[in-house]
Structure 1
Amino acid sequence: MSDQPKAPVTPVPAHEPPYYAAVFTTVRTQEQDGYRETNARMEELVKDIPGYLGMDHAQTPGGLGITVGYFRDADALAEWRSHTEHRMAQRRGRDEWYRNYTLHVAKVERSHTFVRPPEN
């Protein structure tokens, strides 16, 4: 057990619409060599894209992975889609890491956040 406190789990906060959400759902293969390192690198790189707003991740016990990336506009999303290292990771994902995946891109027209006040 680690002595380090865990950061609280919080979703990406709501942003002023409109903006875009890229919803990437996956089922991975047994072959995962290099996946964690590549995933960490992608999380570093996307932060440098102007218009990147944040990312949420979830994994079900059954193996369905869900990643939602949020982008201010279609240009930011297009820049991430065409980023050279991201394209290489996409190819490796298809060749090695994903049994299947689906990508949905949506324009967010309404967004809000709720945060429960701390109890005293």
Structure 2
Amino acid sequence: MEKPYYAVIFTSTRTEGDNGYGEMAYDMEVLAKKEQGFIGIESAREEVGITVSYWETLAAITSWKKNMDHVFAQNKGQKEWYSWYKVRICLVEREYEFNTLTP
């Protein structure tokens, strides 16, 4: 990825049961991938869920936050799916990785 870029870190704890969450999460990922400035996404969930989405600009993040389908999902999340969440927006200036799977 060309640097710098932005990471939106969404950390959350869920309420009990799926209640349509899995399907909506999938739909939001498909929709986000169509947004101008979207770079990628990574997600993991145990007791605490962490989803990090990557964006080219702050304007792209703002546009995604205002997407009407995303606004609907956000509202539903506050009412049904999350007992707590926090969003952090960070500028990524440097990255490195370790990978034994590639030569």
Band the TM-score falls in, shorter-chain normalisation? over 0.9
Q: Which residue of 2 aligns with 1:17?
A: 3
Q: Aligned partners of 2:84, 2:101: CA distance in 1, in Å?
A: 40
Name the CA shift for 1:118/1:105 in 2 (closer, same or farther; >3 Å).
closer
SS in 2 for 1:40: helix
Flag the structure with higher strand content.
2
Conservation of the 8 A alpha-carbon contact between 1:53 and 1:72: yes
Mapped pair 1:113 → 2:97: yes
User: Where does structure 1 lack aligned partners over 5 or more consecutive residues?
Assistant: 1-14
Q: Which residue of 1 aligns with 2:86?
A: 102
User: Where does structure 2 lack aligned partners over 5 or more consecutive residues?
Assistant: none
RMSD (CA atoms): 1.5
Conservation of the 8 A alpha-carbon contact between 1:57 and 1:65: yes
TM-score by length of 2: 0.92
Structure 1 residues 47-95: Cα deviation after superposition (integer angstroms, max 9, x where no partner): 01111010011123xx100000000111111111110000000000000
Structure 1 residues 21-60: Cα deviation after superposition (integer angstroms, max 9, x where no partner): 0000010001431111111110110001111010011123
Which has the larger Rg?
1
Conservation of the 8 A alpha-carbon contact between 1:16 and 1:111: no
Which residue, out of 27, 39, 53, partners 2:25?
Answer: 39
Q: Which residue of 2 aligns with 1:49?
A: 35
Runs of 4+ aligned structure 1 residues displaced above 4 Å come to: none
Name the CA shift for 1:109/1:33 in 2 (closer, same or farther; >3 Å).
same
Name the CA shift for 1:104/1:118 in 2 (closer, same or farther; >3 Å).
closer
Q: Aligned partners of 2:29, 2:60: CA distance in 1, in Å?
A: 15
Q: Which residue of 1 aligns with 2:16?
A: 30
